[in-house]
Structure 1
Amino acid sequence: MNTIHGTYEHSTIQEHKTKKQEVDMSKLGSREFGSVYNFSTFLLDRSSGILYLGARDAVVAVDTANLSKRKTIEWNVAEEKRKSCVAKGKTEGDCRNYVRLLEFLGDGRIYACGTFAFDPQCAFINISSFSLEKLEDGNVKMETGKGKCPFEPRQHYTAVMAGGILYTAATSNFLGTMYDISRATGIEQERIRTEQSISWLSDPEFVSSAFIQEDEEFNPTGEDDKIYFFFTEVAKEYDFYTKVKVPRVARVCKSDVGGMKTLQRRWTTFLKAQLVCEDRGSGQRFNVLTDVFTVPHQPGDPSSTHFYGIFTSQWEREELSAVCVYSLEEITKVLNGPFKELKKSCENWINPEPIPTPRPGQCLNSALREQGFESSLKLPDKVLTFMRDHPLMENNVVAAPLMIRKGITYTKLAVTLTTTPSGPKEQTATVLYLGTDRGELHKVAVVGPNATLIEEVALFSAQEPVNNILLYKNEALVGSPLSLVKLPIGGCSVHTSCEVCARARGLGCVWRHKEQACDTAKHGKEEDLVSQCNKGEGLCSPPVTEMRVEEGLRVLLSCVQLSPRPCHWVSPPFSQTRRHNYDLEVEVTPESLGNYVCLCDEVGRDQPPCRKAEYQLTLNNPSMEGNVAVAGGRHFLASHIIFLVVGFIIGVIFLFVIYKRQGGMRGGGHSSSTLEKGRDLLPSTDTPQSPSSASFLSEAVPLTEKRNGTLNGHGMHSGGLNGRHIYTNSGGLKLQESAVNLAEELDGRERAGPDGEEEGLGDVLSEMEEEFSKLPCLRGAPLALCEESSI
């Protein structure tokens, strides 16, 4: 079921059904697509409104005006080739043809490339007849796709068409150990690529690419067109005990054809710089780039281009996402700055090499042409040698996050710019459309320094991550590996409640109480949030919600915030709490009983805060035990076994401390054995910093389905849960006994075992976890005191 709801707004199931009916949303799922799935790439013809989707063994064309109108082309792998692929050690599922590339050729055809059972192939689609071009013998006309398309369906990859020529960043061998950024089509002699050197590319994960075409009006120096690539790679300039990932931006020039002797058939203009997305207040650095969206801030002016990126952190054990933006001007300034000089020895520091003339890595322009350098083939060897050894820039491109979300993993991003009235003047607002790994679409308005989460729309099931977002004619086309959704996004009228409309105030929206509709504010007229939504709705005087709980439970108290201004909670002095954005998690103990009040600054710092939610926690009567405490014999037995194991560990540690104090251990042999047994109890042998490993000391809170970075309190299953957690409702919904089971879910990466048993060492190691989290290595990648290169 598809629902739409506000930032942290929780309402009854009936209210959600009403909201769903108000959303004009069209969806194609597995029922409509049939056996076609694994959609991975979008290509939109904006003149006709036809959307082309690359899938497994197929390409689908969908009319965006009417999603029911669609056509399908099958492009299968021969049975013999599939068997050969499986014989090489690949799975049956991977030995298919996953179409990863769709690009217009400009002559009425589409260039399509697929993995083709780990032997990438490309074909041509005739747009008018929507069919694959074939040879005289009836077979599909194909050419090699190596260097144009990845070998494996899940490999990171990006490509862009520039002037009818394809530029790609992909793996170039069967094993996936060689990486290239290349000009993949065009004249054979001009097909060039990166040098096979770790100083150029070091285990990269390619993310995005963009073609920036110069405009004569804004190009007085005759600069060449450029192609930018964004990726995450393992940094070789840091001397650290583990692999440090860093986000990069690389640039090549469109007219680059390689060098005459040095760098033959290699880029002579390949430069790269590090992108820094860092929260200056906390020092938190987000070092893994996952997606980039390119948009010019001034239509027709390429120099106004900005790149919006989604970042995560290699060092955090909880889900975390941030959005940073970089201007083309900032990137160009860094690429025109000093080169990174890798030190060859820690004892013998060397002076940087002098930069030869003309400057290495620069694109052709009018000044170079006047000096006789009409082509990269005429560049001197000393320039090319310097370029080969110095692809990395010394300075970084630095930005502070526009927004940070905890408990959320964003996967895709799209951006629009809008102008809104602000008193006598106008201001520009940025609207971010963010897809999550849980099938949701989040709309965020960025006005000045404030980023406000306007709404969240659940489009797909929690198992379907958003992997494509296209904005077209005030609509969003959102894709997952299994489905396609079209929904309206433009204008204030799409907001169907006063609270959501109030969040969009920065976009020029105002709630009309008489019409019960969200409308565009008149020029120069603004209403504060309280006057918009406090007419008969009790925005700052909500009723007190009584929560009858049991000791040992964890309760999540919800607080709905309408503005980007901060909120704080007033709680009993000795309560054990933890913040989840605006919501508050409470561990129920005798000391935590009492009143909890959420106060938010809605109307300005000089005004008293608005009371947005108030809860009273009291102990429950024994009658709820039948609904909450009893979860089946297996859960009962498992919990006792866990308590016995934890008790045994505590006993061992206690005896060890006593024995140590008495001097009983004198050779270290027994101590080593005890430590080895302790290691066996840990859930994983991965390093705690590894992004693929589980939490080093997990709290082991069960999870079934997550929403809004925590839980979805609507439509959750009521059977088969042990009732360990409660998710509350701030909209005045009374918590019934049978509804306690709905609160089984909590947030983030915490997991339960297959039968709901709690995992981890629990509170015994909580102090170790707290100290471990303070280590500086978890806050960002530190610079080495001595930069030593193995290159």
Structure 2
Amino acid sequence: MILSGVKLLLLQVCLLLSGRSLAATLGSLGDAMLGPETFKSAANFSTFLLDGSSGMLFLGGRDTILAVDTNNLSQRPKMIVWDVPEDKRKSCVAKGKTEADCKNYIRLLEFLGDGRIYVCGTYAFDPQCAFLELSSFILEKVEDGGVRMETGKGKCPFEPSQHYTAVMAGGILYTAATSNFLGTLFDISRATGPEQERIRTERSINWLSDPEFVSSAFIEKSADSNPTGDDDKIYFFFTEMAKEYDLYTKVKVPRVARVCKSDVGGMKTLQRRWTTFLKAQLVCEDKPSGQRYNILTDVFTLQHTPGDPGSTHFYGLFTSQWEPEEVSAVCVFSLADISKVLDGPFKELRKTCENWINPEPVPTPRPGQCLNSELKAQGFESSLKLPDKVLTFVRDHPLMENSVTAAPLLVRKGIRYTKLAVTLTASGGEQRGAVLHLGTGHGELHRVAVVGQNATLLQELPLFTSQEPVNNILLHQGRALVGSPLSLARIQAEGCALYSSCEVCARARGIGCVWSTTEGTCQLNEADPGPGDVVDDALKKCDAQEGRCRPSIRELRVSLGLRLLLPCVQLSPRPCHWDHPLHRHTKQHQSDLEVTVTEDSLGKYVCTCQEGGPDIRDPTPCSRAAYYLTLEDPSAGGAVAISGGRQVLAIYILFFMGGFLFGVGLLYFVTQRRSTVRQGHQMPDNSLSSEKGRDLLGSSTTPQSPSSASLLSDGFRLMEKRNGTTTSTTTTTLLSNQGNGGPHGNSYSGAVINSNGSNGHGNSLYGNCNTSSSGLKLASEILVADMLDGRTEERAATEGAERELGGKDEVDEELGDGLREGMKGLEEELASFPMFKSPAPLAQCEESSI
């Protein structure tokens, strides 16, 4: 109870310190946070819509629509309740759905351009849409006072958790969603507009194969940037089951699909279906390591040159189907590369040989091509005039032969990123780098600077509780609006003032930040940083002994038998390796290293990762972490390094000594009593003592239950803890704040070890609670090795030998006589004690497995 109280007190202190640190961070930057106490009963926010001109943010939640003024978060949010009638909710539950799902979850918020917002919700598995008047902030009503609604099928998913995306293009809604109650039919469709122009994808696995829709984007070209008169396009990003791979297991692949805005379907073939639907595979692969990330989770669309649609890039957030642990990667694809692949060769499945090959010939005009000035001059003013052979070809060949490939900008293992936003930094009209704003599944926001081939972690900010994943990130006027299902945070997103220490500012040198020693602040420097590793040079100015690839050696004082997990933060997608003393007591977990401390494992450990060098693409080695293991006390030898281990050993010794003393006393008492009996010529009752001895001591004919194992023989399983998630329950945990910098050594002989060091970049990597806005919160552990009591085997061998000797029939006569006489006396003396008056129960027989 005392231990539980102490743990609860420490947890409260950690939460209090974390809250104060976050409040201080937000307050210092003029930012704020709205939590459940502000939104009252409103929850399950999943949809964000921002009015850039007014700064008004609209949130779609469960049965509610909120309007929050991001310029004045202290103002009370406006709220509209749009719930489901009781009879409809009961009907939904009667169909097998849960009470929680049979509500109205707002999944679509889009501006219509006429002072209204188009709002769609799941409405108890019967999607409905309504119109929200911005001026009065009320839903349009019908004559009887009810909400004016229209069907939302094909515009909004049926189920709250279904993957879904939508985009508004010229006042027309384009969606990618399920279109039936069971969630088995999937459509990419033009969901609004004239009825005859509402078209969708073909119901074929060649078009869509169990997709999970992620994002969509409308690319609109201006007249000045479109000399060929090419049609505007809508792009959809999703993950689906691949049909082009003949494998024994289902393979997921990320896709990008494109449709054209003026497509109205075919005349006979592909009626009310897309005639321009084409899709291609996205490949996010690190070629040096061969690792491919095949599940797309989020996409952020960004124009590298504002006002130029041709400069659009899509930043994709990926994970892997094949990785046993959580992993996240970021790849960027340009619109030019996607267009090149969609204009390339088609992929075809020829059923005679079941192999994918390039089809020949491709009809004219090219299938899937958007209308342009040249096609219109040839008489194809509309998709309705396309020949049937062109429509038949595009119906059977929606997939392209080539893939859109990119190398990862960033790979983080052990972390699940959920949302992504990107800001660019420029100097003198030239792009300098990018800052990735990454939301985690545990309520954190990470910032990573990407300059050339190098990715550098800048900050890790805890915003929400670990049970609130980040599900929305919007960038507006230099700030980031970060949302979870229950909360909303507004934080500063741009500017060197974000980085409050010299080390963190040095890591942002690539994006133009310089530390001012006179003012003690991080400031923007428009000057070109020049050639070389600018981050390394900047770090040297903070600490002459420190550098990005030259970490200080961290001395760790440990005890024999400990099991350590030495952390090494890996930002690049390329592998890391460890240099350490030659022994077999190590095991690498991703980039971290597990070490069992022995005499041979003491010494220096260095983690080296392959990273991109300055202005080159070839990976170069970079030291990320360095440790030196030394014994806390050389005389400690095999000291027990578990919490309570010494106490357990002391208890064993006390019991042993007490039993020994008791046995000596008992033997002395029995000997004295026996000599007294002999002097009085009193002989014991042989028959009676024989029966008692048989019941009490047992014999070789009575099966004995196996002796219980030593308490210390139970091994402690290794447990890794990542971002608050544990994989085992019976462990002895030692937390460590990893650091590569700082001269102070740490003692690891106790049960819990805390060391607040830096990793050479100003980040506190491992800790019980994170109180720094720029501190890394990667939770790792130092665990105790399995401890086996050698005396258990010796005791088992001794007991087996005694049982074998007890089962022999031939015993030396002289020894036998003395033994029998002594046993009879001992039995009679024991029988005189009250505790031995009743016969001792026999051990239960064990059934044989033969």
Distance 1:477 1:725 in 2: 36
CA positional deviation for 1:514: 2.4
Q: For residue 326 of structure 2, what is the aligned residue in structure 1?
A: 319
CA positional deviation for 1:363: 0.6
Distance 1:134 1:72 in 2: 17
Sequence identity, in percent?
63
Q: For residue 495 of structure 1, what is the aligned residue in structure 2?
A: 499
Distance 2:586 2:34 in 1: 42
CA positional deviation for 1:619: 6.1
Q: For residue 209 of structure 1, what is the aligned residue in structure 2?
A: 216
- Matching of residue 101 in structure 1 with residue 108 in structure 2: yes
- Matching of residue 727 in structure 1 with residue 736 in structure 2: yes
**Aligned partners of 1:561 and 1:612 also within 8 Å:** no
Distance 2:630 2:16 in 1: 24
Distance 2:417 2:624 in 1: 31
Moved more, 25-34 or 476-485: 25-34
1:152 counterpart letter in structure 2: E
**Aligned partners of 1:172 and 1:178 also within 8 Å:** yes
Q: For residue 640 of structure 1, what is the aligned residue in structure 2?
A: none
CA positional deviation for 1:353: 4.2
The DSSP-based 3-state class of the residue aligned with 1:368 is helix
Listed as ranges, the matches of 1:36-435 within 5 Å are 36-69=42-75, 70-346=77-353, 352-420=359-427, 426-435=430-439
**Aligned partners of 1:59 and 1:75 also within 8 Å:** yes
Distance 2:59 2:38 in 1: 14
Q: For residue 516 of structure 1, what is the aligned residue in structure 2?
A: 520
CA positional deviation for 1:565: 11
CA positional deviation for 1:440: 1.4
CA positional deviation for 1:593: 3.1
Matching residue within 631, 641, 644 for 1:618: 631
- Please, what TM-score do these two structures have when normalized by structure 1? 0.77
Q: 1:285 to 1:404 in 2, by over 3 A?
A: same
Distance 1:582 1:351 in 2: 41
Residues 707-730 of structure 1 show CA distances to partners (whole Å, capped at 9, x for unaligned) of 7xx99xxxxxxxx98424443442
Q: For residue 542 of structure 2, what is the aligned residue in structure 1?
A: 533
CA positional deviation for 1:129: 1.3
CA positional deviation for 1:521: 2.4
Moved more, 209-218 or 590-599: 590-599
Q: For residue 596 of structure 2, what is the aligned residue in structure 1?
A: 587
Listed as ranges, the matches of 1:472-491 within 5 Å are 472-491=476-495
Matching residue within 562, 565, 586 for 1:556: 565
Moved more, 618-627 or 207-216: 618-627
- Please, what TM-score do these two structures have when normalized by structure 2? 0.72
CA positional deviation for 1:532: 2.5
2:45 counterpart letter in structure 1: F
CA positional deviation for 1:577: 3.6
The DSSP-based 3-state class of the residue aligned with 1:291 is strand
Distance 1:480 1:191 in 2: 34
Distance 1:613 1:350 in 2: 51
Q: For residue 459 of structure 2, what is the aligned residue in structure 1?
A: 455
Q: 1:583 to 1:521 in 2, by over 3 A?
A: farther
**Aligned partners of 1:126 and 1:133 also within 8 Å:** yes
CA positional deviation for 1:143: 0.6
RMSD: 3.9
CA positional deviation for 1:535: 6.1
CA positional deviation for 1:399: 1.2
The DSSP-based 3-state class of the residue aligned with 1:199 is coil
The DSSP-based 3-state class of the residue aligned with 1:273 is strand
Residues 51-76 of structure 1 show CA distances to partners (whole Å, capped at 9, x for unaligned) of 11110110111111122221111111
CA positional deviation for 1:233: 0.6
Moved more, 510-519 or 339-348: 339-348
Distance 2:283 2:572 in 1: 28
CA positional deviation for 1:502: 1.1
Q: 1:12 to 1:94 in 2, by over 3 A?
A: closer
Distance 2:25 2:258 in 1: 46
2:175 counterpart letter in structure 1: T
**Aligned partners of 1:22 and 1:496 also within 8 Å:** no
- Structure of greater Rg: 2
CA positional deviation for 1:145: 0.5
Residues 281-321 of structure 1 show CA distances to partners (whole Å, capped at 9, x for unaligned) of 11111111111111111111111111110111111111111
- Matching of residue 443 in structure 1 with residue 447 in structure 2: yes
1:556 counterpart letter in structure 2: L
Distance 2:378 2:612 in 1: 62
Distance 1:380 1:631 in 2: 87
Distance 2:553 2:130 in 1: 64
CA positional deviation for 1:519: 1.1
Q: For residue 723 of structure 2, what is the aligned residue in structure 1?
A: 706
Q: 1:564 to 1:529 in 2, by over 3 A?
A: farther
Greater relative contact order (Cα 8 A, min sep 6): structure 1 or 2?
A: 1
The DSSP-based 3-state class of the residue aligned with 2:643 is helix
Listed as ranges, the matches of 1:638-657 within 5 Å are none
**Aligned partners of 2:84 and 2:123 also within 8 Å:** yes
Q: For residue 661 of structure 1, what is the aligned residue in structure 2?
A: none
Q: For residue 642 of structure 1, what is the aligned residue in structure 2?
A: none
Residues 734-754 of structure 1 show CA distances to partners (whole Å, capped at 9, x for unaligned) of 458463499899999999xxx
Distance 1:487 1:220 in 2: 42
The DSSP-based 3-state class of the residue aligned with 1:333 is helix
Moved more, 583-592 or 298-307: 583-592
1:438 counterpart letter in structure 2: H
Matching residue within 582, 585, 595 for 1:573: 582
**Aligned partners of 2:735 and 2:780 also within 8 Å:** no
**Aligned partners of 1:530 and 1:602 also within 8 Å:** no
| Structure 2 alignment gaps of length 5 or more | 1-13, 615-619, 649-715, 755-765, 770-775, 787-850
Distance 1:561 1:512 in 2: 29
Moved more, 555-564 or 267-276: 555-564
Residues 220-259 of structure 1 show CA distances to partners (whole Å, capped at 9, x for unaligned) of 0000110000001111111110111111110000001111
Distance 1:241 1:750 in 2: 36
The DSSP-based 3-state class of the residue aligned with 1:393 is strand
CA positional deviation for 1:487: 0.7
Q: For residue 706 of structure 2, what is the aligned residue in structure 1?
A: none
| Structure 1 alignment gaps of length 5 or more | 1-10, 633-698, 712-719, 759-791
Distance 1:181 1:610 in 2: 48
Q: 1:497 to 1:180 in 2, by over 3 A?
A: same
**Aligned partners of 2:454 and 2:612 also within 8 Å:** no
**Aligned partners of 1:628 and 1:724 also within 8 Å:** no
Distance 2:361 2:468 in 1: 53
Q: For residue 556 of structure 2, what is the aligned residue in structure 1?
A: 546
Distance 1:388 1:602 in 2: 44
1:240 counterpart letter in structure 2: L
Q: For residue 627 of structure 1, what is the aligned residue in structure 2?
A: 643
Residues 418-477 of structure 1 show CA distances to partners (whole Å, capped at 9, x for unaligned) of 1147xxx95531221111112211111111111212211111222211111001111111
Distance 1:98 1:153 in 2: 6
Give aligned pairs, total.
666
2:558 counterpart letter in structure 1: R
Distance 1:405 1:245 in 2: 21
The DSSP-based 3-state class of the residue aligned with 2:600 is helix
Q: For residue 777 of structure 1, what is the aligned residue in structure 2?
A: none
